[in-house]
A and B are shown apart, each in its own frame.
Chain A
């Protein structure tokens, strides 16, 4: 069985400071891991994905995430937050069962203070 735990429901940072959104996963298979962002009244947009290549994954808008198998973690980071980063962020895991379906975490709402 696969699952994802997003450790913080809300994160608040000041503009220009680093962002850290935490995600832990559980998977019986070698997982694929994803981070999606959702702005209000919009669909989910893929930020980045890990699929067993490099453990440090770079995504769009300056975000990156590091796959750590020993810690079963896939935390999302950004060196400097921008006001436009305020949104809901979802971590997701996909195994290699028949459907390759995504299992999402409950989300982390990022607030960026001016």
Chain B
């Protein structure tokens, strides 16, 4: 069964550094999402992406964050100038039109 794959599984970064989290969505899906889950808290929506542009973003998704689909298979989340509070699990999801979202296993981001 096709699945969403995310790399790396764990990223450790110094505060103030930039990180790029990578995702390969399911190949025939058209909608792409990033969510995050701070330890012990809810899964929170960050951004959705369709037709090569952001379709919606949350209040969390400020100028520190950006997304890109650099080619036909990858979907990336870039976090500039990381802060301690950016430490979380980051999940990528994808879906066809009007179908449930399927999630990857996440990247655990640890900011030191």
A, B co-complexed: no
Give B contacts to A, CB under 8 Å: none
